[in-house]
Amino acid sequence: MIEAWAPGRINLIGEHTDYNDGFALPSVVPLQTHVRLTPRTDQIVSVTSDAEAAPCQYTLGDEKPSGTWLDYVAGLTWSLRRSGHRHAPGFDLQITSDVPVGKGLSSSAALEISILRGLRALYSLTLSDMELAMLAHTTETQFVGAPVGVMDQMVCSLGRAGSAFFLDAATRDFHHVPLPAGTSVQVIDSGIAHHHASGNYRIRRRECDEAARALKVARLRQLTPADLPRINALPDPLNRRARHVVTENARVLAAVDALRAGDLRKFGGLLTASHESMRDDFEVSLAEIDWLVELAVGDAGVLGARLTGGGFGGCVLVLCAPGAPDDAAERVVDRYRREFGRKATVLIGSSREQILKG
């Protein structure tokens, strides 16, 4: 039997930039997916999960998308075979996870990377951590059909506890940026799930591609804030979609500089500005998310807050001031319940060690 695991991730800043070949700054979180793989004597893959009542099966070499969560498993063996990595016989797979689904913490990438790590050990495959990330990305985009960028799979495979993961999606170069002492990032679950394979995410990606064509560039990454006058001249909403991507890329670069300088206050301001751009220009926030961010930013112990993940639901990231009481997220959730009558929960609480132990 082989055991393996992979972490979920939170995107500190840099939303909807990776599939535009831009910059992103995610980090691993302590929430994890664990798998156990036991080889069989036939070609069957049998999958059980703590989230599903009944086991699922498919046959190696006969993987077909079914539109269910099993596609994330079947797509991996499909991707391995297409890339020339033979694997036989089949196996029994047990999955347990505390990475919540549909909350913007990359449950799919954590699942993919944990299984690939297990398959690498089970079949003695010669695959680097980068190759695992690319196989997982192929699975999600070509088999599952979710038009995501490379960020999630890369950070879940290559991320490091205690550091942000600065990614250049165009080149796939990355650097680990240590988080300053006193960094405390908390995560609030809005209670609203999202889905990358759903229509809104696809629409935003298509709008970015249309804006790039109108601006005569291959990807919006090729533009800078100096190009804002001609970006603003595009028809609505293409102007706002492109403006978000270009200004978000600039915010990621500024955020990296702020972290390296130990300036958490500046970093927090960039997080809040990122949310405003996602709300107004990219239009992927919701009223409930905006309320949570507004309550967080208004808290004396908070330096900044934003929607994290693809949007249309998910989680809110809260950056707390060093030395402030460590219950900021709990205070926000309580006020949210009292003032708006809505329920939200704290997924990840106070200390730097807790969120980044990975």
Region 84-99 average pLDDT: 91
Residues 34 and 169 in one domain: yes
What value does the CA radius of gyration of the chain take, rounded to a whole number of Å?
A: 20
Between 238-260 and 264-280, two packed helices, what is the crossing angle to 10 degrees? Answer: 170
Q: Which domain holds residue 12?
A: 2-176
At 307, which CATH number? Answer: 3.30.70.890
Q: What is the bridge-based pairing of β-strands 91-97 and 44-49?
A: parallel
332 and 191 share one domain: yes
Residues 128 and 204 in one domain: no
Percent of the chain with pLDDT over 90: 83
Does position 293 have pLDDT exceeding 70, yes or no? yes
Query: Is the pLDDT reported for residue 163 higher than 70?
Result: yes
| Residue-level pLDDT at 53 | 72
Residue-averaged pLDDT of the chain: 93
Residue 172: DSSP 8-state: T
Number of domains in the chain: 2
Pick the closest to residue 152 from 272, 324, 33 (CA basis): 33
Higher pLDDT: 59 or 191? It is: 59
Same domain, residue pair 296 and 202:
yes
pLDDT-derived band at 35 (thresholds 50, 70, 90) equals: very high
How high is the pLDDT of residue 200? 85
Model confidence pLDDT, tens digit, residues 233-246: 999 999 999 999 99
- 78 and 108, same domain (yes or no): yes
18, 21, 71, 152: the active-site residue = 152
- The per-residue pLDDT for 158 is 98
Q: What is the CATH number of the domain that holds 160?
A: 3.30.230.10
Lowest-confidence range among 83-92, 223-232, 292-301, 343-352? 343-352
Phi, psi (rounded to 5 degrees) for 69: -60, -20
In the prediction, which pLDDT does 353 show?
40
Catalytic-residue membership of 168: no
Predicted local confidence at residue 33, as pLDDT: 97
My answer on whether 124 and 251 are in the same domain is no
For the chain, first and last CA: distance in Å? 23
Whether residue 223 is found in the same domain as residue 292: yes
Mean pLDDT (whole number) for 40-50: 95
Asked whether residue 334 carries a pLDDT value surpassing 80, the answer given is: yes
Same domain, 161 and 14: yes
pLDDT in tens, 247-282: 999 999 999 999 999 999 999 999 999 999 999 999
- What's the whole-number mean pLDDT along residues 85-100? 91
The domain boundary residue, chosen from 176, 197, 218: 176
Final residue belonging to a domain, choices 176, 200, 222: 176
Residue 218 in this model has a pLDDT that exceeds 90 = yes
Q: Are 233 and 299 in a shared domain? A: yes
Other beta carbons less than 10 A from residue 234's beta carbon: 17
Question: Are residues 100 and 151 part of one domain?
Answer: yes
What pLDDT score was predicted for residue 324? 85
- DSSP 8-state code for residue 150: S
pLDDT of residue 352: 41
Q: What is the pLDDT of residue 221?
A: 97
Whether residue 250 is found in the same domain as residue 289: yes
Which helix or strand (DSSP H or E) is residue 319 part of? strand 315-320
How many CA atoms, within 13 angstroms, populate the side-chain half-sphere of residue 97?
27
Residue 224 CA to residue 248 CA, distance in Å, equals 10
Please say if the pLDDT value at position 198 is more than 70. no
Q: Please, which pLDDT band fits residue 195 given cuts at 50, 70 and 90?
A: low
- Summarised one tens digit per residue, pLDDT across range 100-154 is 888 888 999 999 999 999 999 999 999 999 999 999 999 999 999 988 889 999 9
Which whole number is the average pLDDT over 155-184?
95
- Its pTM surpasses 0.85: yes
Assess whether 161 and 207 both reside in one domain: no
Locate 216 and state its tokens.
Answer: 């005569």
